[in-house]
Amino acid sequence: MKIEILLATYNGQQHVESLLESILEQNHNDILITISDDCSKDNTKKIISKIKKKAPNMINDITDSRNRGAASNFSYLLKNASCELIFFADQDDIWEKDKVSLFVRRYRKLKKNFPPNTPFLLFSDMTLIDENDNQTYDSYY
């Protein structure tokens, strides 16, 4: 099952590379990362271009020249999404290697019990880390 990860960025040079690397290391291999940068003034766009060279078929950069703000940028991404199962990523996240496969497995299981086209919202807990990727809390809740 192909899944799509939507990433809205803005001045995220400090963390966006770690995020994208963690997504590329997922044990689910049918992934499309769709990115829209919101007119970053730092090196975010250069970092995205560098990572895209590693996986050109996995990264779809739909950035244009408009500055939308975070909420509108995610909305723009969602309007342009094409996969059945969509994930949202924040530029300062680091994903566990099995995050996507666990969600896909759960989604497939749930989907069997509902009529076609039933919308689902799946979410998970998270581990909090500081700016140096050191764990500060093992659960958000």
pLDDT tens by residue, the chain, 141 residues: 999 999 999 999 999 999 999 999 999 989 999 999 999 999 999 999 999 999 999 999 999 999 999 999 999 999 999 999 999 999 999 999 999 999 999 999 999 999 999 999 999 888 888 888 888 888 877
| Domain 3-137 in this protein, CATH class | alpha beta
Q: Whole-prediction pTM value? A: 0.92
d(CA 2, CA 134): 32
Q: Where are the domains of the chain?
A: 3-137
